[in-house]
Structure 1
Amino acid sequence: MAQAKAPGEIEAQIARSRQRLAVTLDEIAVRVHPSTILGDVKDRVSDSVDRTVGQTCVRVNGLVDRARSQVVAPDGSPRTERIVPVAVVTVAVVGAVVVSRRKRR
């Protein structure tokens, strides 16, 4: 059979429960405070932006590496067999634009 508690023990238990409840309510108040919510949202947005920027940098670096590998050999020398045709096409296009503009005048 359960032993009856003394009034002092009951009062102490109630005081401890009130203290725990007060701490819990304070924690809840901090969590739902607008500045806390705003800070949490800012942190999430910042993390998302950082992650997106990081992923974009990785993709851009990959594209640059692939493009570089098309015109530079693994030993660092230029791949003239690929650069010369691109240069010829570029000069032809620029020449065509210049001739076209001169004809319009």
Structure 2
Amino acid sequence: MADTSDTRTPAQIEADIQRRRDVLAETLDEIGVRVHPKTIVGDAKAKVASNIDHTLGRAYVGVNRAVSQVKARFVDDEGAPRLERIVPVALVVVGVVGLLAVGARRRKR
């Protein structure tokens, strides 16, 4: 059988009630802030911004890796250009640009 006698004084009981009211008021205030529309919108914006930052970071790393790989094909370890690879690519680019220019000139006529 549980002991139901309370040996606290009325002042102690009132102080305990006041502490519980304060804790309850703080909890209700916190809930009010959490469910406030501005808080919800702010949290959603922060989450979207975080996701965008994460995606952009991953994209940056991917692009940086691709650029490094392309650079490694056209430059040796010492930083000197690899002419045996650059010259053929340059010739192809010049040829494609020339064909595009000829095609554009024929369309204008």
Q: TM-score if structure 2 supplies the norm length?
A: 0.80
Q: TM-score if structure 1 supplies the norm length?
A: 0.83
Runs of 4+ in 1 over 6 A off after TM superposition: none
Which shifted more, 82-91 or 35-44? 82-91
Which shifted more, 89-98 or 62-71? 89-98
Per-residue CA deviation, residues 48-74 of structure 1 (Å, 9 max, x unaligned), is: 111111111111111111111111111
Say if 2:55 is the partner of 1:52. Answer: yes
Superposed, 1:1-105 pairs within 5 Å as 2-99=5-102, 105=109
Unpaired segments ≥5 residues, structure 1: none
CA–CA separation in structure 1 for the residues paired with 2:76 and 2:69:
11
CA–CA separation in structure 1 for the residues paired with 2:95 and 2:58:
37
Unpaired segments ≥5 residues, structure 2: none
Per-residue CA deviation, residues 22-79 of structure 1 (Å, 9 max, x unaligned), is: 1111111111111111111111111111111111111111111111111111111110
Which shifted more, 32-41 or 3-12? 3-12
Superposition deviation, residue 3 in structure 1: 4.7
Alignment size in residue pairs: 105
CA RMSD of aligned residues (A): 2.1
CA–CA separation in structure 2 for the residues paired with 1:15 and 1:103:
91
Percent pairwise identity? 50
